[in-house]
Each structure stands twice: as structure tokens, then as C-alpha cells.
A and B are shown apart, each in its own frame.
Chain A
Amino acid sequence: MSELLINDISMRFDLPNGTSIQALKNVSLDIKTGELLSVLGPSGCGKTTLLNIVAGFLAPSEGSIVLNDKVVLGPGAERGMVFQQGALFEWMSVRENVSFGPDMKGISRKESSENVEHLLDVVGLQDFKEKAVYELSGGMQQRVALARCLANDPDVILMDEPLGALDALTREKMQSLVLDLWKETGKTIILITHSVEEALLLGERLLVMAPRPGRVHKEYRLPFADLGVGNDLREVKKHPDYSNTREEILEMIWNMEEEIMGRTDESA
């Protein structure tokens, strides 16, 4: 049973000038296997920090991360990452990038090739597998990143604004792809975004975070991710609950932003 527990995480950054930033305060979450969790919040509310703690790149000031009854102490292959951009290896072909994880584990190319080819098919890059990654468009590069992550067969996939650098059309296609992959693989996914629409469409469970200190503000259980699997996402957006929830969340984030602006104005 792969369950991800985020136990009362707090994170304080001590700055060289003596002050400190409380990036996260008492964040607790219990993420079930196969759950698709999207995390939304104004920028600076600690989303990336939270994900980096789960990934094991940062040690929290307080609290702990437990995956499959094991405390997370550093990065590991059971937690795959998909970054916004720039995390592919330019010196490798598309296929070499995808088979990086198996290669590192010492699995022979022969053994891994079936899975790698399958993933290249799934993300639609079969025809581009011998190309260098810098020859691909941004959307294709993110598909390579997805395939590379999946090739390693992680228990949890962590995505930090994976579609943030893409244009609107490509982004929509990629959202469908993420949903399809989620359904097909049954992986636990945590997806950070600052697009409300994306959070709604891709979040079976949606977490709105508030800043200063970063904390969980509100949680939603949403039907749209399930509706979206294999379907046109534009149809999903016509669902009456969709626009209501969207308005509610937009309002919420708007108020948070207002509050931040107000505070900075005062301090200035």
C-alpha cells in the first residue's frame, strides 16, 4: 500500500541578514495511492518548497514525510519529478533521456527497451526518439520529461508547474495526456500549478494554499478529473459546478493577493 503522509511540515528559511521566512507552517496531508492532487496558490505561498520537501531535496524544519512507511530523507527513484523546463539532458537523444532511470539502475537496454518504446508510443514521440531534445518543441520536451519519469516506475509523481511554460493550445493537449497517463498507470500524482483551470481539471483533490506563512487554506474533492479522462476537456468545462468552483477559488486567491499587496504597501 503506497501511501504518502505529510506530517505537520513547517519550513523556515533563515536568511543571511538575520531575518527568516516562514515558507510553510504545519502542513499535514494524507495522500492515498492513485490520488491526483493539485496544489494551487498565489506565488510565494510555498508550493515549490512543499514539493521539494516531498521530493527530498529539502529537509523540513519540522515534521516528516513518510512514503510506504518509510521516512523520506533524500531524493529517491520512488518519487519521480517533472520540472517546468530545463531538466532534460541535452547531450542525450530523446530515447536516452527516457531510458535514463533504467540505465542508472543498471538494467540493460535490451530489458528496458520494451517499456521505453511503449512509453514513447504513449506520449507520441516514437518518430522523434533519435532526435536531440533541443530540437523538439516545448510541448514535446515536456512529453519526454513525463515519459522519462514514468520509465522509472515511481510510486509518486511530483510535478512543479509542468505545463507552465507551454502555450495555451499545447497546454490543453498536455492536460489530457496527464489525465490519460494518470488513469492508465494509476500513479499517485501531486501537481503544482498556478492556473485555476488546470487545478480544477487535473485535481481529483484540490488544495488551495495561502501565503505568509504557507499553509493549507481549503481543500476540495472534485469530479472533473474523472470526467476528463478520455474526454474533451472543453466539455468538462461546461459542467455547472466547474464554473461555480472556479469563481469561488478565483475570488479566494484574489483576496489573498489583495492582502499580500496591502501588506507590502504598508511595510513599504
Chain B
Amino acid sequence: MTGLLVLALYLGVFFGAKVILSRLFSGAFAPRGFNKIKTVTFGDESAVNGNRMASVISVLTIFWIWVAFTNSVIPLPKMPGPFAGETSFTYTATQEDGTTDDATVSILVYREDIQLTVDEAGVAGKQPEVPEVDAGDGFAKNDTLTAARYGFEVINVWKNDEVSKKEGSRITAINGQTIEPGGSVKTSAGRIGLTDKGTPTFAPSPGLRMPRLYLPAPEIVMDRFLRLNAEGYQGFTLWEHTWTSLRRVLIGFVLGALIGIPIGYAMGLTNWSRGWFDPIVEFMRPVPPLALIPLMIIWFGIGEQSKVILLFLAALWIMIIAARSGVSGVAITKVHAAYSLGASKWQILRKVIVPNSLPEIFTGARVAMGVCWGTVVAAELVAAEVGLGKMIVAASRFQLTDIVIIGIILIGIIGFLIDVGVRALETWLVPWKGKV
């Protein structure tokens, strides 16, 4: 339900922002530069360049939806919130002989995350006391209780009544509305129902916002991030978690490249190596590295060795294949030209084949780094002592969703930075790529 609403909202902003902004800033939507003189732009991919405003609004929209569907303090339009505060309902109890009596149930609904909050003095929040109420008259007595937001309470209204359920007292109406076991009554504060056995229940209205357990508000995540930064998590600082994951990837990838690239060259250059490694590479290539995690744990345990070997294997096949196709991508005229200029085999390898295969190797490196980064997180999710994946999975066991979200954001940012880094290295080392 909420999912559909999010989708509708998202699509609404997508189309709405386009319509409104293209009216307001028609200049920014007009084709620019060379595209101005093109009459055909639809289908001409080179005429498409991402609209900056769209990117900015896209990010802002995600942020806004995050705020709108959580109990955030950020002053942005939000979905209707969950009920909190005082409410009450009356129930009518009927005895077997037909005598009835009304009594009130007062409920104090408190923040479900009250214990996670801290007031200005630095004191952690406490669950509120059950308020005192006057018992009232008649055989049914007034009740009082506290309930957490998003919660669900089964209320034993008879515990202070003069006639108990066993003695034949039944609830026949809520707020004056007749009710059968299994039925319910909606109020602005939530829903009062009867179980199949006739016991009243109360579920405070959840509104459309996510409880903190599912989706913490941005400021809570930010606050957690600052605290993680200062205090770390489970004995390791945030930096240690991050760097450990990254270090595993780097070591695994470098080993995979150091061994894979020469094997790939050998496969591209000699029959024996091609024949020797082809079956292994063709067999191992389609095996997802994640499938190797259990075996790595059985063989090497859950420590560094197991992770690094896993990542080495993840990078190895990709780098072998990249180097091999790098060799096959060398134009034969270049090799012929080099031989005619008196180059030896070794010189051809160093001066022609290696540089000529660099673009392919970099493409492979980008893929391998991406795969390794994904694999390390997964491996840490399964078993590790430190690392971003380990941080996430440990936090999820304690239902610390904010840490889980921080972990995911960090994983995304670092994965992105890795790719940017490899690409920058590529433009620096292979300036001729795509220009030949």
C-alpha cells in the first residue's frame, strides 16, 4: 500500500517537475551548443545530455520521500503521522443476566523509540508511567494503560472489574457501538477491536510513516553516523570497518591482476597455454564468486585469508579474460610492422601487445573491482569480524536500521569512488582509448 503511494508520489514529481520547470525555465530546457542547429534530436544519442535540474531534483525527491515517510523533525511536507498522546474509549460490559455497565479505558500512546531518544540534559527517554484514573462506579471499572506507537495491545479490562470474563461478563459495545467478537471500531486514535474470544484490543493508528525500526529519519541516521564516527561499532571504528573491506578488495584484486594478466597474455600468445587454461577459465567464469563463499569458509575459515582468496578468485577470471581479449585485439598490422622494424618477440610483447591491451585491461579492472566490492560485502555478511558487511549484518541483528543504512550508503559511495578512480587512471594511462 505504502509502496504504491511512494511510487505514485515519485512518478508525480518526475512528471510534475518536468512540466512545471520547463514552463518556468524554458531557457534551461532548450538545446544547447551544437544541438541548437540539429533538427533531429530524438534518436540521436549524442544530442542527449542529462538535465542538471533533473539530477538535483531527483536526489532531493528521494530525500523528501525519505523525510515524508518517517517521523523526521525536518520541516518538509510529511505523510500523516502515527497517533501519539492520550486517548480513551468506553466499553460496555454485559453480564449473563443482561445487566450492563460502561467503563472508560484511558490510553497513553508514547513514542515507540522513546528509549533511544536523549533529551537536552543527555538523559535517555523512559517509557511513561501508567496514568492513574478513578475506578468509577458499576461492576465494570475504568482502566488505564500505556501503548507504544505502531503497537498492539490486548487489554484485559476485567482485571479490576467486579464481574470477570469467566463469570460471564462480555463486551458488547465500544464507544456505544455494538460489537461482536472479531469486530472492530475505528477512532481517530486507532482501532479498537475484539479478539475472537471477546477481549478488547487497541492498535494506535500508524499513519503512513515508517517506524524508526524500518526506516529511521535522516537526522537519526546523521546523528548515528556522527556517533559511529566518534565511537565506532563493535570494537572497531567506522574507518576500520571501511578500510578493512577496501583493503581486502585491493589485495584480492591486485593478486588477481598480477596472476590473471600474465595468464591471459599467455593464453593469447601460445597454443599450450590457451589449451591448458581454457577449460578452467570457461568453467570458472560463470561461477558467481558468492557461490564460493561457503567453500572458502570451510577451507580457510572466516579470517582475512579466506576473504582475500575469495576476492583473488573473483578478480582472477575477469582479468585473465580481459588480458586475453586485449591480446586478440591487437591489430595484426601493428605486430607485422613491429617485426619488420626488427623487434624481437620480447620487444613485441612489451612495446606492442602490452600497451595495446591496456584499454581492455582497464575495462576488465573496472568490472573486477566492482565484482570484488560486491563480493567482499557479501562475504562479510556471511562471516567476518570486521568490515562494512559485518557492520551491517551485526547492526541488523540488533535492529539498528540506521547503521544498516549508513553501511549501505558507504558501500555505494566507495563503490562509486573506486570506479571513478579506475576511470581516472585509465584516462591518464590510456589517453588514446576510443580515439583510434
A-side residues, CB < 8 A to B, are 55-57, 74-77, 79-81, 83, 86-91, 100-101, 104-105, 132, 134, 148-149, 152, 154, 158
In Å, the complex CA distance between A122 and B336 comes to: 25
Is there an interface contact between B340 and A91, defined as CB atoms closer than 8 Å?
no
8 Å CB contact of A152 from B342, B355, B356: B342
Name the interface residues of B329-351: CB closer than 8 Å to any CB of A. 331, 333-334, 336-344, 347, 351
Task: Check A87/B333 contact, CB under 8 A, given A76-B342, A77-B341, A104-B347.
Answer: yes
| B431 contacts the other chain (CB 8 A) | yes
Inter-chain contact B356/A91, CB cutoff 8 Å:
yes
How many angstroms between the C-alpha atoms of A74 and B342 in the bound complex? 11
B355 interface neighbour in A57, A91, A134, A148, Cβ under 8 Å: A91
Closest to B433 in A: A90
Is there an interface contact between A86 and B344, defined as CB atoms closer than 8 Å?
no
| Chain A interface main SS type | loop
Q: Which residues of A contact B352 (CB under 8 A)?
A: 89
Looking at chain B's contact residues, is the secondary structure mostly helix, strand, loop, or mixed? helix
**Could you tell me the distance between the alpha carbons of A105 and B341 in the complex, rounded to whole angstroms?**
9
Interface centre among B347, B355, B432, B436 (most CB of A within 10 A): B432
The answer to whether B432 and A76 have CB atoms under 8 Å apart is no
Docked-complex contact B339 and A75, CB < 8 angstroms? yes
B316-336 interface code vs A (CB 8 A; 1 in, 0 out): 000000000000000101101
22 contacts between A and B (CB under 8 A): A55-B340, A56-B339, A57-B336, A57-B339, A75-B339, A80-B340, A86-B331, A86-B334, A87-B336, A89-B334, A89-B351, A89-B355, A89-B356, A90-B356, A90-B436, A91-B432, A100-B351, A101-B342, A104-B343, A132-B431, A149-B340, A152-B342
Interface size class of B (residues with CB under 8 A): 20 to 34
Given A91-B355, A91-B432 in contact, is the A86-B333 Cβ separation under 8 Å? yes
Q: What B residues does A90 contact at CB under 8 A?
A: 356, 432, 435-436
Q: Kindly list chain A residues whose C-beta atoms are within 8 Å of the C-beta of B337.
A: 81, 83, 87-88, 148
Q: In the bound complex, how far is the Cα of B337 from the Cα of A148, in angstroms?
A: 10
Least distance between B168 CB and chain A CB atoms (Å): 95
**B341 pairs with A152, CB closer than 8 A:** yes
User: Measured between alpha carbons, how far is A246 from B163 in the docked complex, in Å?
Assistant: 125
Please encode chain B, from 396 to 436, with 1 for each CB lying within 8 Å of some chain A CB and 0 for all others.
00000000000000000000000000000000001110011
Taking CB atoms, residues of chain A closer than 8 Å to B339 are 56-57, 74-75
- Tell me the complex Cα distance, A158–B435, Å: 27
Given A89-B351, A90-B432, A134-B436, residue A101 in contact with residue B341 (CB < 8 A) = yes
- Name the distance in Å between B133's Cβ and chain A's nearest Cβ: 86
Q: Which 9 A-B pairs have the closest CB atoms?
A: A77-B342, A75-B339, A90-B432, A91-B355, A87-B337, A101-B341, A87-B333, A81-B340, A134-B435
